[in-house]
A and B are shown apart, each in its own frame.
Chain A
Amino acid sequence: MKFYYFHLMPYYMDHDAPSSWVTLSNRLYDPALGHTLYNQYLDQLEYAERLGWDGLCVNEHHQNCYGTMPSPNVMAAMLVRRTTTAKIAILGNGLPLRENPLRIAEEIAMLDVASGGRVISGFVRGISAEYFSTGVNPTQSRDRFYEAAELILRSWTEEGPFPFDGRFYRYHYVNPWPRPIQKPHPPVWCPSQGSSETVEWAAKRRFPYLMVFTPIKRIAQIYGEYREACERNGYKASRYQLTVNVPIVVAESDAKARELAKKHVMWVFNTGLRMHPPFWRPPGYMTEASLRRVLANPPKLPSELEFEEADREGYLIYGSAATVRDKLRVFSDELKAGILCSGMTGPSHEETLEMMQRFSEEVMPHFREDANVDETAGVGR
């Protein structure tokens, strides 16, 4: 199994506002504290490479305390120069949120060239709330996503200049300098919530599928759908196309880990993902078919998720190193996920670094049969 260290860069805080997204006033953001947090978080990502993680993950979210990384490419740029071997996975850029998606093609190519080909480029639509914070029309989200993806992929693979005349994006001259160093282009990943349209789209292109903060049963179901879609498209999914992000807490004992998980991981669900209900469901963001699937089996709002249920349903992994190893076997052996993109959170920066070290020494080595395999060979492009 490959291990990627994922950072949300949260701004931990307690508040009584109805929403941690879009409307949570930024007067609550203290830039001096933010300075400390950004630097600690970047230290953690850099430390992950030294401890043996194979990749480092950043992602894009807007106007919230859940993840303070509106531009993942900025964070990736900092990591590129402070690391040497780890993949830098940007999970991802919200394609429809950009008015000029060619800018994404340019920035990813810059990072790819500067890093010597270590970049993985996630393509996402952006979660529901992002359509409230950017003003982009959610009814156009899916079509803008497909069109921007096509534009970016063509700009990486076709010789420029060429014209592009889309419904949303139009250029007389598509000719970005630089071109990416990886051929034909940096691997593309699809972090997604499991809509059948995206599963099909990703499988058709061999783009790895990443499930974030999802209960195990649902991951198993979507992985199954993804594998079937790959077979429909005439090939067998590599295990490195099946990736997962599940929060991990490892400590000296199960009891200690449970206590930390209850506090820190549940903050992500209960506070970080607390959202004014209309922000979960902007009009037209989902197809009506997807909406009906959701209505038929309505998921619990993260803000209402209780620890016992999160534990039971496998939203998180916690325990002593031995327990975490056992729980991870479910992901590696039963779900057959090839890449684990998990971050971890201790009560302080120092304790987080200790937790990372414990994981790298006592958990990771037990999952390294594939240490010499290149997980990006033949997938994501």
Chain B
Amino acid sequence: MPASHELSVRGTPVQMLQDGSGPPLLFLHGAGGAGRWLAFQERLAKDFSVYFPSHPGHGGSPAAEWIEHISDLAFHYLDLLDELDLERVHLVGASFGGWIAAEIATMASHRLASLVLIDPVGIRVDGWIYPFLFGMDIPEIVTTIFQNPMAALALAPPDQSVETLALQYRQGAALARVSWNPYLYNPLLRRRLGRISAPTLLCWGAHDKLAPLAPCGETWAREIAGARLRVFDESGHVPHLEEPDAVAEAIGEFCRLREGAA
């Protein structure tokens, strides 16, 4: 069982799960993934000391009014590294968390032992418009995100109480504040990807319908020099939920190589 910590990062309260031992690894979750310590994190914790904070406004972290741009979140996590006294980490981000991780890597690759992006959003891809999840009901969202809809059960809300619905609304609002328009991307990020010098692994679900391998994954692979691309055949947008062991294993292998090289 991971330990739950309440932190204050430059005055912004954060709830964070932590477990495992080994080199430090910061995991940035996607929308709806806050506080969900599942098979993927469990597996990572065998090789790493895993830090899993909830974004402000998500899970147990209260909303932060000052966050109005994706770069605010990137700076927030650089501050969190300082707060935790972590000079260098393996940074893993999934989907929306992958977007934040990529922003961080364009700012401070020297703080990253490695960078792992799992089906990230965040850049404008020629010939692709991300399907508008905010305009979808739950069944449409599940179909868009998951290749195996059973994997979605892990993120299902526990009940339909006022508290649960209010939390979902708060999470949606926190996400929309930084991603409603432009939707799921920062127009400046793509041309900055060339600044990323951390060794980078791209993990991609072969059946991602939100950010498909072609053209999205292929664009990321082209824009980040030397990035390695691993495709997961049974997955949609969230391979770390759909094939948790295989993705965690790929990450472990990639990061161990970097640790060895360092």
Task: Give A contacts to B, CB under 8 Å.
Answer: 22-23, 132, 135-139, 276-279, 281-284, 286, 288, 291-292, 295-296
CB-CB under 8 A for A282 and B176, given A22-B135, A135-B181, A276-B135: yes
Smallest CB separation, A297 vs chain B (Å): 11
B148-170 vs A, Cβ < 8 Å mask (1 yes, 0 no): 00000000000000100110011
Residues of A within 8 A of B172 (CB): 283-284
- 1/0 per residue, CB under 8 A from A, across B123-134: the answer is 000000000001
With the chains together, A163 CA to B172 CA distance in Å? 35
Question: Could you tell me the distance between the alpha carbons of A48 and B73 in the complex, rounded to whole angstroms?
Answer: 56
- A23: which B residues are within 8 A, CB to CB? 135
Chain B residues contacting A291 (CB-CB under 8 Å) are 165-166, 169
Question: A295 to B162, Cβ gap below 8 A?
Answer: yes
Selected contact of A278 from candidates B137, B162, B177, CB within 8 Å: B137
CB within 8 A of B135: which of A132, A286, A292?
A132
A132 to B134, CA, bound (A): 9
Query: Could you jot down 26 A-B contacts, CB within 8 Å?
Result: A23-B135, A132-B134, A135-B181, A137-B176, A137-B181, A138-B176, A139-B176, A139-B180, A276-B135, A278-B135, A278-B137, A279-B135, A282-B134, A283-B134, A283-B169, A283-B172, A283-B176, A283-B180, A284-B172, A288-B170, A291-B166, A291-B169, A292-B162, A292-B166, A295-B162, A295-B165
Residues of A with C-beta under 8 A to B189: none
Separation of A234 and B181 alpha carbons in the complex (Å): 41
Q: Collect the chain B residues with CB atoms within 8 Å of residue A281's CB.
A: 169
Q: Which DSSP category, helix, strand, loop or mixed, fits chain B's interface?
A: helix
Residue among A23, A282, A283, A286 with most chain B CB within 10 A: A283
The answer to whether B180 touches A138 (Cβ under 8 A) is yes
Q: Is the CB of A277 within 8 A of B137?
A: yes
- Closest approach, in angstroms, between the C-beta of B90 and any C-beta of chain A? 31
Instruction: Specify which chain B residues have a CB less than 8 angstroms from the CB of A284 in the assembled complex.
Output: 172-173, 176-177
Given A135-B180, A139-B173, A291-B166, 11 other A-B residues pairs in contact with their CB atoms under 8 A: A22-B135, A132-B134, A138-B180, A139-B180, A276-B135, A276-B137, A278-B135, A278-B136, A288-B166, A292-B166, A295-B165
Within 8 A of A (CB), among B178-199: 180-181
**Contact of A288 (CB < 8 Å), options: B136, B169, B176:** B169
The CA-CA distance from A296 to B166 in the complex, in Å, is: 11
Q: Which residues of A contact B91 (CB under 8 A)?
A: none
Q: Shortest beta-carbon distance, A294 to chain B, in Å?
A: 10
